[in-house]
Each structure stands twice: as C-alpha cells, then as structure tokens.
Amino acid sequence: MASPTAPSEIRVAAQADSSSEAIVFEDVSIAFEENVVLDGVSFRLPRGETKALFGVAGSGKSTILKMALGLQRPDSGRIFALGEEVTRMTEEELFAMRRRVGIVFQESALFDSLNVRDNVAFRLMEEHISAEEIEQRVLESLRFVELEHTIDKFPSQLSGGMRRRVAIARAIITQPEVLLYDSPTGGLDPVTSNTIVELIVKQRDVYKTSALMVTHRLQDAFTMATHQFDKTTNHMVALPKGQHAEVPMSFLLLRDGKVILDGDAKELVSSRDPYIREYIA
C-alpha cells in the first residue's frame, strides 16, 4: 500500500503544475519609486473559482490585476496565467495570451470614439471575423448584460452602471477562461451594484469562468459567497447555510504589501487577527 502523501509534497506538486491553476503569483514584489506596494505576494486561483481581493486604497489590488495580464511587470517573482509564465513573455506573446483573459476596468475604459457595438466587438473586429458573426455575438453579449437596446449609443450617453455592464459584455464576448474585475461595483448605487454582482455570479456559475475581483465592498463578496445563479429563474438565489462551502469563492486580504488572509468566507469571519476583525466589522 502506498504511503499517504504529506501536505508539503502536495504543495510542491501543485506548484510544479501551474497549468491546473488559472492564475498563480509566486513571491511577487513591486515598488513605485521608493514605495513598496507588493512585497512577496503569493497566491493561486484554481480554475472555476472567484477570488475577491481586499485591501485599503493603494494596497496594490489593481496592480495585481494588471500584472496578471502583463500590463505591468513585477520587480521580482513569477506570475502564471493559464499555465503560461506571464513574467517571461514578450509583449507580442502577451497579446496572444490576453485573448484568453478578459478584464473589466475600474472606470470601464470604454473607447469614447466608438459606439457600444464597436466597443463590444473590438476584439472580434481585430480578428477579422465576419460581420454577421460579429453582430450575432455582440447581441449575445449585450443580451447577457441586458443592454441590447444601447447597441448604437456612445459611452457618453450611458450611465455609470450601464458602462460597467457594457465593459463586462466586451470582456466576455470571446468567452475567456479568466476574468479580472477591477472594482466593478465601485461608486454605483446598491440596486445597480446588485445587478453587476448578479452578472458576475451568472458568469461564474453558468460559464464556470475563473475570476479575480478587486473590491472595497465586503457585502458584494459575501453575496457572491452565499448565492448561486439559478438558470430557470434567471436570477441568483441565496443558498442554505450548509451549502455555502460549495460555492467556488475565496477571499484574499492585503496589508502593507503582504497577504494576511487567503481563504474562504468561513476563514475570514472566524479570523482572530485584530486588523481583519476591524476590516470586516
């Protein structure tokens, strides 16, 4: 009979096979001028899971998203996205990798000069896909965020919440394997925030997309950890308490450039760390 595998061995094996993870950060550090923002950050995002990143303003949450996509380079450490080492790739190689990863920026970052159709279709137009297919997929994406009627409008004609939803439609049009959300509900009213959270849960539960989500709103992440998307009613529904552990949702808390918590909702609420207690209070 084979001897049971030690936990440390399991950890090493998991490290070696980064392709089984959507995103892996290994001892990543970055400083801007003399300000150290991230100092030896390590975490892994398993495929199909959504990880909410928390931390005070300037703690490097958005920097983590940008580094995962190769938009910024760390000073040291290694980053893997979908099994490929982002930190070793050239800009040309990164363009190909980014086709498999979608991102929703903090202020949506829609192209001002393009209408909603062209914004959502941007990636498909760059790939020279036929006009009929583009139209069909744009409508599909906009239907997902329930904004079909805005197809001919320009970003300046949309509300903040609508812009975020168009940004989500743009990010999901190629059905990426990983989605990165940078404060998707920041600055929005509770009703609109709930709509955005529901869309993120829908993407997680229907398409099983892995995601990293930067947020300041704990309640959004707790909603995501306690709800599941119901395809029959087309709405997210609260799960009974005993089933919360089944939701593929985790939390990561940053403080002074380091990870102070990386675990599920239960670990977060049961933490004895005074800083964490104060943060979630």
Partner 1 sequence: MALEIELISPFDVAKDSVRAVQEYTLLAARSLANLFRRPLYMGDMLQQADLIGVGSLPIVVLTGVSIGALLALNSASTLQRFGGITLIGQLVSVGMVTELGPLITGLMVAGRNASGMASELGSMIVTEQIDAMRALGTDPTKKLVTPRVAATSFMLFFLTIISDLLGLLGGNLVASLLFGLDSRQYWTSAWQFLVFRDVFMGLVKPFLFGFIISTVGCYYGMSTRGGTQGVGRSTTQAVVASSVLILIVDFFVTKLIFAFFGVR
Write out the residues near partner 1 by the rule CB under 8 A.
66, 69, 71, 91, 94-96, 98-99, 101, 103, 105-107, 109-112, 122-123, 126, 170
Tokens describing residue 21: 């993870």
Least distance between partner 1 and beta carbon 98 (Å): 5
Least distance between partner 1 and beta carbon 6 (Å): 40
Select 54 or 105, whichever has its Cβ closest to partner 1: 105
Least distance between partner 1 and beta carbon 279 (Å): 27
In the 3-class helix/strand/coil scheme, how is the chain assigned residue by residue?
Answer: CCCCCCHHHHHHHHHHCHHHEEEEEEEEEEEECCEEEEEEEEEEEECCCEEEEECCCCCCHHHHHHHHCCCCCCCEEEEEECCEEHHHCCHHHHHHHHHHEEEEECCECCCCCCCHHHHHHHHHHHCCCCHHHHHHHHHHHHHHCCCHHHCCCCHHHCCHHHHHHHHHHHHHCCCCCEEEEECCCCCCCHHHHHHHHHHHHHHHHHHCCEEEEECCCHHHHHHHHHEEEECCCCEEEECCHHHHHHCCEEEEEEECCEEEEEECHHHHHCCCCHHHHHHHC
Least distance between partner 1 and beta carbon 238 (Å): 33
Select 72 or 192, whichever has its Cβ closest to partner 1: 72
Least distance between partner 1 and beta carbon 35 (Å): 15
Select 75 or 107, whichever has its Cβ closest to partner 1: 107
Select 213 or 247, whichever has its Cβ closest to partner 1: 213
Select 55 or 176, whichever has its Cβ closest to partner 1: 176
Least distance between partner 1 and beta carbon 111 (Å): 6
Select 80 or 222, whichever has its Cβ closest to partner 1: 80
